[in-house]
Amino acid sequence: MASATVPLLDDDTIPFGEEDEMRDPSRAGQKYTHPYVTFFHLFFRGAAIVIYMFCGWFSESFITSFVFVVLFLSADFWTVKNISGRLLVGLRWWNYVDDDGVSHWVFESKNSRINKHEQRVFWLGLILCPVFWSLFFLLALFGLKFKWLLLVMIAIALNAANLYGYIKCNYGASKDLNSAATDFVKTQLFKNAMDIMTKPSAAQPPTNVRPTGVV
100-110 residue pLDDT tens:
888 888 888 87
Any domain includes 202: no
Largest CA distance in the chain: 100
Q: What is the pLDDT of residue 202?
A: 47
Count: domains in the chain: 1
Query: Which of 77-81, 89-93, 187-191 is the most confident on average?
Result: 77-81
Task: Quote the CA–CA distance of 119 and 188 in Å, as a whole number.
Answer: 12
Mean pLDDT over each residue of the chain, to the nearest integer: 78
What residues are paired with 93 via a beta bridge?
107
Kindly report which listed range (3-7, 40-44, 115-119, 142-146) carries the lowest average pLDDT score: 3-7
Rounded-to-integer distance, Cα 19 and Cα 26, Å: 15
Q: Burial-class residue 73 by CB neighbours within 10 Å (0-12, 13-18, 19+).
A: buried
Is pLDDT of 149 > 80?
yes
Residue 161 counted as domain residue? yes
Residue 140 forms part of a structural domain: yes
207 part of a folded domain: no
Predicted local confidence at residue 192, as pLDDT = 63
pTM (2 d.p.): 0.69
Q: What angle do CA 167, 104, 7 make, to 5 degrees?
A: 100
Instruction: Report H helices in 91-176.
Output: 116-142, 146-171
pLDDT at 213: 44
Nearby residues of 76 by Cβ (< 8 Å), 6 or more positions away: 44, 45, 48, 158
As a whole-number percent, the residues of the chain with pLDDT over 70 amount to 66
The whole domain housing 35 covers 30-193
Asked if residue 173 belongs to a domain, the reply is: yes
Considering the domain boundaries, does residue 21 fall inside one?
Answer: no
Residue 215 pLDDT greater than 70, yes or no: no
Q: Is 17 left (phi over 0), alpha (psi -120 to 50) or beta?
A: left
Predicted confidence at residue 28, as pLDDT, reads 54
Residue 136 lies in a domain: yes
- Pairwise CA distance, residues 165 & 7, whole Å: 19
